[in-house]
Chains A and B, each alone.
Chain A
Amino acid sequence: MNAQAVVILPIALPLATMVMLLLSLKSIPAQKVIGVVGSTGLLLSAATLAWLVDRDGILVLQAGNWPAPFGITLVADRLSSIMVLLAGLMVFAVSVYSLASVNDRRVSFGFHPLIQLLLMGVCGAFLTGDLFNLYVWFEVMLIASFVLLTLGGERRQLEGAIKYVTLNLISSAVFLAAIGVIYAATGTLNMADLALKLRSFPDEGTVSVLSMLFLIAFGTKAAVFPLFFWLPASYHTPPVAVSAIFAGLLTKVGVYSLIRAFTLLFVTDLEFTHNLLLLIAGLTMVTGVLGAMAQNEVRRILSFHIVSQIGYMVMGLALFTPLALAGTVFYIIHHIVVKTNLFLIGGIVEQRFRTGRLDRIGGLYRSAPVLATVFFLSAMSLAGIPPLSGFFAKLTLIRGGLEAERYAIVVAALVVSLLTLFSMTKIWTEAFWKPVPGDAMTNVNFPRRSRAGRACLYGPAILLASVTVGIGVMAGPVMNASMATAEQLLDQNAYIQAVLPDGPTGQVPAVSRERTSP
């Protein structure tokens, strides 16, 4: 086995785990053990991949030994490997958390195999270098997420799932249509090959239409304004372990695809595409945070904050300078860890009070000091208080904005940050500081958990909170990694060279484009 074989591991390992889980579906202990072991394996393979990519540069695997652009190419560059590593970390945390929070009925219906299927789709989407293959991984991921969302069949789960499924199917249809058009126009779906062909594509109008189709398709998955409303309608309904992994990873696959498309493929008309992205980024931030302020349930508030923070990630992409893109990468790293953790903590709160409504809960600062600490760290990080990870992420983005002299978006980012702080303080004061409300006392039923059960709930939350603090403390190395990632993203020729070492196929003049700031 050579180094390139490692590229396939984040896809093959979840598949292998899923096979073992399917063959042992009857035994609940086996499901739990294999699920956690498989997730640990994924985390380790992702770490290996990240280390190799950092050492050797872009790793390319031509599946089936068919040369690009004819076969399916898997590409692991810095961005891909960082995303896969984060996915591995999240699934590890969530698998452990699910041991004590997902009931046996759901486990026997296939919770663990579905999580592995979801991860296979997510990792596949991060690693593929082919647009149609990306579509296939999206579908793998969505099919798994449809079932996970409805698993258990509670009434409100189904209600949320209808909106989720409908919107995602529409965006898949748009995505597929866009793939059809781009294939008709260029005759290739390999991303590196496309990047070459789109550079010198004669008809600028077609490229603009294509970029907008992909913007709608990926934008819906990423939940940007005005295509986000499926997200707050569905994320609070499934079991917490499921919504945590959704919150951490699914929209980020959309963001990843947006970054890939708008750093590699559609970079010819920055004036139009990236200015539109900037507008979308601003509106996404503001609407998301305003939506969150109107909510009174922990997971609903957090869901709207996902939308708001997608705005920050798109902002860095839209500014399209190395610093701003580094900010986006840093923000994604920070966001996935913190957001998943907040959902996990919200889940522990909900388990205690059997509700997430802020007017029915309280007193957690006194009754659960560890939980309070972990929540405080994550929430303050989300709001961007130094020295936690969110501060450096936002600082980088804002510096990028100032450098590019786009002051409106900087102001929006700062105001939204303040409103995020307000919203986090609301959860803090209501759930943690306020005494337990009178009517809640009667129906509070603190579930008595074994020591192992508590460890499974608190362990992942503490782990992720320490990662947040770690990113803050180690901001220098993380920033260097983000910067290297951003530079690699902007160096399209390196990507193309790695995938197509023998040069372009067909008649394409080798144009080296000057980057222009939008």
Chain B
Amino acid sequence: MDSVILKTAIRFLLPLLLLASVFLFLRGHNEPGGGFVGGLLASGAIALYAMTHSAAAARQVVRVPPRFLIGAGLLFALVSGVAPLFFGRPFLTGLWTTITTEGLGKLHIGTPLLFDLGVYCVVTGVTLVFVFSLLEE
């Protein structure tokens, strides 16, 4: 795609879209959103960059190979499943903790967030594998 406007705009859009994807990912805990749609948005942003510039340039943006993201995502999900076993709870039981920080107030985080992060990474990785393979065909 050879559009100067899009090519220039995507440079500014890419960080915004990635930020929005993180927002969606974190919002997903209690409201619509989550790792899946967040991952899709992130990979959509990178796909846009890949289409306007080149797949090679987009690979530079991602830094790690997409299949690495798949592996890492699965690892996160697996860890969130196995972790409760060490506390004598069944597989996949949510473990929660509250962290008090100065600026942000109380943070209630747990293993389901880690699982969702795994989903985020797997979705991004799989979509990017598709996009890059098709663009480099």
Footprint of B on A, CB under 8 Å? 1-2, 4-5, 8, 12, 15-16, 18-20, 22-23, 25, 61-65, 74
B63-83 residues with Cβ-Cβ distance < 8 A to A are: 67-68, 70-72, 74-75, 78, 81-82
Tell me whether A12 and B78 are in contact (CB under 8 A). yes
Interface size on B, residues (CB 8 A): 20
| CB-defined contacts of A18 to chain B, threshold 8 Å | 74
Contact among A2, A22, A65 for B93, CB-based, below 8 A = A65
Q: Are A15 and B91 in contact, CB atoms less than 8 angstroms apart?
A: no
A23 B92 Cβ-Cβ under 8 A: no
Rounded to whole Å, the gap between the CB of A72 and the closest CB of chain B is 8
Minimum CB distance partner of B74 in chain A: A19
Q: Which of B75, B78, B88, B94 contacts A64 (CB 8 A)?
A: B94
Inside 8 A of A25's CB, which chain B residues have their CB? 67
Kindly identify which residue among A1, A15, A16, A63 contacts B92, using a CB–CB cutoff of 8 Å: A63
Given contacts A1-B86, A19-B78, A23-B68, 16 further A-B contacts (CB under 8 A): A1-B85, A1-B88, A5-B85, A8-B81, A12-B78, A15-B74, A18-B74, A20-B71, A22-B67, A22-B70, A23-B71, A63-B91, A64-B91, A64-B93, A65-B90, A74-B91
Chain B residues in 8 Å Cβ range of A4:
90
**B89 part of interface (Cβ distance < 8 Å):** yes
CA distance A2 to B93 in the complex (A): 14
Chain A residues, Cβ within 8 Å of B70: 22
When distances are taken between beta carbons in the complex, the residues of chain B under 8 Å from A62 are: 90
Q: Which residues of A contact B85 (CB under 8 A)?
A: 1, 5, 8
- Which residues of chain B have C-beta atoms less than 8 A from A61's C-beta? 90-91
Per the bound structure, the CA–CA distance linking A16 and B71 in Å amounts to 10
Cα-based distance from A350 to B22 in the complex (angstroms): 53
Contacts of A1 in B (CB 8 A): 85-86, 88
Chain A residues closer than 8 Å to B72, beta-carbon distance = 23
Q: Give complex CA distance A63, B94 in Å.
A: 10
Among B74, B81, B89, the most chain A Cβ lie within 10 Å of the Cβ of B74
A18 to B73, CA, bound (A): 12
Residue of A nearest to B69 (CB): A22
CB under 8 Å from chain A, chain B span 94-109: 94
Q: Is B78 within 8 A of A65, CB to CB?
A: no
Residues on A with beta carbons closer than 8 Å to the beta carbon of B89 = 65
* Chain B residues within an 8 Å CB radius of A63: 90-92
Q: How far is the CA of A19 from the CA of B90 in the complex (A)?
A: 22
Q: CA A113 – CA B88 in complex, angstroms?
A: 30
7 contacts between A and B (CB under 8 A): A1-B88, A4-B90, A12-B91, A22-B74, A64-B93, A64-B94, A65-B93
Inter-chain contacts of B90 with A (CB < 8 A): 4-5, 61-65
Q: A64-B92, A65-B93 known; A22 and B78 CB under 8 Å?
A: no
Residue of B nearest to A25 (CB): B67
Complex interface residues of chain B between 2 and 36 (CB less than 8 A to chain A):
none
Contact B78 A5 (CB under 8 A): no
In the complex, A270→B93 CA distance in Å? 40
For A2, A4, A5, A20, the residue with the greatest tally of chain B CB atoms inside 10 Å of its CB is A5
CA distance A63 to B81 in the complex (A): 9
CB distance from B116 to the nearest CB of A (A): 14
Q: Nearest 4 CB-CB pairs, A to B?
A: A22-B71, A65-B93, A23-B71, A64-B92
